[in-house]
Amino acid sequence: MNLLPLLALFLFSLSFLHADERVKRIQSHVQYLSSDSLEGRAPGTKGNVLAAEYIKKQFKNIGLQPYNQADYFQEFSIVTDILLNTKGNALSISLGKKEHALKLQKEFIPLGISDTGMANCPIVFAGYGISSPADNYDDYAGIDVKNALVIVLRGAPEQDSPHGNLSQFAGLRGKAMTAKEKGAKALLCLSGSQFPDSLMPLRFEQGGKVDGMLILNALTSTVETHLPELKVTSLENEIKSSKKPASKIIADHSMNIHVSLSEKKVQTSNVIGYIPGTDPSKKNEVIVIGAHFDHLGWGGEGSGTLASSKESAIHHGADDNASGTAGMIETAEAIAKNPLKRPVMFIGFTAEERGLLGSAHFVKNPTIGLDSIAMMINMDMIGRLKDGKLNIGGIGTSSQFKSIVDSIGKLHPLTLSYTEDGFGPSDHASFYGKEKPVLFFFTGLHGDYHRPSDTWEKINYDGESTIVQMVMQTLAAIDAKNQKPDYIKVKSSAQPGQAMSFKVSLGITPDYSDHPKGMRITGVREGGAGEKAGLIADDIIVKLGSTVIKNVYDYTFALGKFKAGDSTNVTVLRGPREDKEVELQVTFPVKK
């Protein structure tokens, strides 16, 4: 019998004699990080900087070293807002030599997904701007919108049936992409009966602009005044009653459009600390422990209250993810007192809520060679343990994990559930995409998720302390093994949320951060359509079917066109210079 793992667990458990003190420290970390003074820790804000400084201070006091970066911080920039330039924004309606200029921010406004530029266009009304032949509905059937400005209504024809097939095409980005593919230069959205006749806000949207498209919103009443042929209520009623489009060319009129927007970029930072191992022969088997410390600030995109509340409020993010950050700090304190044989790198990730940007930046610009990373453990939302139920993701990504976690789980009053896959909506996915085994500790979603009500007093601190103890014991058991965890590519499974959103899947994990050439793939699932087609990690998708791909939102728009059994081409760039163009054939499988 190999007693080494049991001995390691026993020795490591000596650090748990003062569990009450750990509970108090966890509560102190969570209270500060989720306090009003940090204002929700959105990247680029003072609160986010204060959170990063707090983590740095904890690392420094504990005795962690900075590793290959100055002062614990790994800085990078992200886009946080879109701004209306003081000059260069105009919209006018012309009939012959008569021209009427609309008032900026009173009668019209450019939208955050618009490109910058100018155009003079003929005008076409295209209903709701939806083209879905599979649903026997196409607002573009029989009309030519090449080089035109397309006027579309917000929403979808099935306003009384939000779960109808056409409601999935109600998003404005998708309407702009459809208009672009049909050859239009600009899109003007108006409110029909589903929405008040008021201007939409100009705000930054994750995914950025739709390249080559000028996208605006205007008051319906103003546009109707200067386009007598456009009777929005009458046309809308015709579409709803006939269940057919009522698209039409607005003859003799044109629109002159100028859009000038600029991006606001801010600096933000991952926070990285390092504890050397005690065995020099294991120095290139680094274990990464991570947790994201950012949250949603005052709300906005991603907020669970966005649709129901008109007022912004601090989104405290106590569980998401002050809890995981506190767990990471406590784990660092324990390991600093009892170092493992292997080095351990602790990373507080920023900008996770904006699409795993912090962890994606790290794996692209690692402060330590990726080949030196043995595995990664992620703690995200570990503060709401209820009925002892704990989910552990990535359990199938190494042959070592299941037996270790099973054994340790029996030492605690916990009911464990497992997810085999190493992909998922948190920072461990960035590491699994680089073929690293991962474990993800998670107590589940709840009614306060992404809402201002995710506050410190709702955290189960005793429960979190138990989870932190389990993480430490898992680390000790893994470290007691001479062989580092092997990597297993788990057979493809549906990405969370994907099955509900799309009829098909490529079986890839996209990189949500911007890339100048297209959308980078961070991981390819075994047995998925993408792997069978020949896609590999770090490929950059530039075209899927007829859609040019610039980012993940172009990709999801393109994906929504296909159904099971369809085949199409996917074009990627690959190679160290990202300049080798490869065209592959992909077939979306039919579920059996």
pLDDT digits (tens), the chain, 592 positions: 444 444 444 444 544 446 789 999 999 999 999 999 999 999 999 999 999 999 999 999 999 999 876 789 999 999 888 999 999 999 999 988 889 999 999 999 999 999 999 999 999 999 999 998 888 899 999 999 999 999 999 998 875 555 567 888 888 999 999 999 999 999 999 998 889 999 999 988 877 889 999 999 999 999 999 998 899 999 999 998 888 999 999 999 999 999 999 999 999 999 999 999 999 999 999 999 999 999 999 987 667 664 344 458 999 999 999 999 999 999 999 999 999 999 999 999 999 998 899 999 999 999 999 999 999 999 999 999 999 999 999 999 999 999 999 999 999 999 999 999 898 889 999 999 999 999 999 999 888 999 999 999 999 999 999 999 999 999 999 999 999 999 999 875 544 333 334 578 898 888 766 677 888 888 888 888 999 999 998 899 999 998 999 887 788 888 888 888 899 999 999 988 888 999 999 999 887 6
CATH, residue 130: 3.50.30.30
**Looking at the structure, do residues 253 and 289 belong to the same domain, yes or no?**
no
Is residue 265 assigned to a domain? no
In this structure, the strands spanning 567-574 and 540-544 are antiparallel
Residues 546, 508 within the same domain: yes
Residues 323 and 462 in one domain: yes
Q: Is residue 566 part of a domain?
A: yes
- Does 69 lie in the same domain as 98? no
Residue range of the domain that includes 137? 86-259
Distance CA 116, CA 126 (A): 23
What's the one-letter identity of residue 129?
G
Select from 425, 448, 480 the last residue of a domain: 480
Task: Give the residue among 200, 228, 198 at the shortest CA–CA distance from 123.
Answer: 228
Claim to verify: residue 439 and residue 545 sit in the same structural domain: no
Sequence-ordered alpha helix ranges (H) in 152-270: 172-181, 220-226, 232-242
Contact present, 447 and 386 (Cβ < 8 Å): no
**Domain final position from 259, 290, 306:** 259
Q: Do residue 469 and residue 362 come from a single domain? A: yes
Determine the pLDDT at residue 1. 41
Mark whether 72 and 93 lie in a shared domain: no
**In the listed set 450, 480, 510, which residue is the last one of a domain according to the structure?**
480
288, 247: one domain: no
β-pairing, 519-524 vs 508-510, is antiparallel
* H or E element at residue 19: helix 19-33
Q: Is 28 helix (H, G, I), strand (E, B) or coil?
A: helix
Q: What is the biggest distance separating any 2 CA atoms in the chain, rounded to whole angstroms?
A: 94
Q: Which two tokens stand for residue 445?
A: 């979603």
Asked whether residue 50 is domain-assigned, the answer is no
Predicted pLDDT of residue 495 = 43
Examine the domain organization and report whether 525 and 464 are in the same domain: no
With respect to residue 36, please indicate whether it lies within any of the assigned structural domains.
Answer: no
Q: At what angle do helices 19-33 and 461-480 cross, to 10 degrees?
A: 110
Question: How many domains does the chain contain in total?
Answer: 3
CB 118 within 8 A of CB 152: no
Strands (E), 239-280: 248-259, 261-275
Any domain includes 313: yes
- One DSSP character per residue, 530-545 reads HHHHT--TT-EEEEET
For residues 502-535, one letter each, b for 16 or more C-beta atoms within 10 angstroms of the residue's C-beta and e for the rest, the string is bbbbbbbbbbbbbbeebbbbbbbbeebbbbbbeb
Residue 468 tokens, joined: 């932190």
Nearest 5°: the CA angle 364, 554, 246 is: 170
* 413 Cβ contact list (under 8 Å, min separation 6): 388, 466
What pLDDT score does 498 carry?
39
Domain membership flag for residue 187: yes
- CATH classification of the domain holding 560: 2.30.42.10
How many whole angstroms separate alpha carbon 4 and alpha carbon 518?
Answer: 49
Tokens of 304: 């669970």
Answer yes or no: is 487 within a domain.
no
The verdict on 399 and 420 lying in the same domain is yes
Residues 6+ apart with CB under 8 A from 217: 108, 109, 111, 188, 189, 190, 199, 200
H, E, C per residue of 375-432? EEEEECCCCCCECCEEEEECCCCCCCHHHHHHHHHCCCCCEEEEECCCCCCCCHHHHH
Upper half-sphere CA count for residue 40 (Cβ side, 13 Å): 20
Please indicate, yes or no, if residue 488 is contained in any of the structural domains: no
Query: Same structural domain for residues 303 and 379?
Result: yes
Q: How many whole angstroms from its chain centre is CA 330?
A: 27
Residue 459 tokens, joined = 């955290």
Find the CATH number of the domain harbouring 318. 3.40.630.10
Beta-strand relationship, 373-379 and 286-292: parallel
Residues 6+ apart with CB under 8 A from 247: 124, 125, 126, 127, 139, 140, 141, 142, 143
* pTM for the predicted model, two decimal places: 0.80
Residues 134 and 252 in one domain: yes
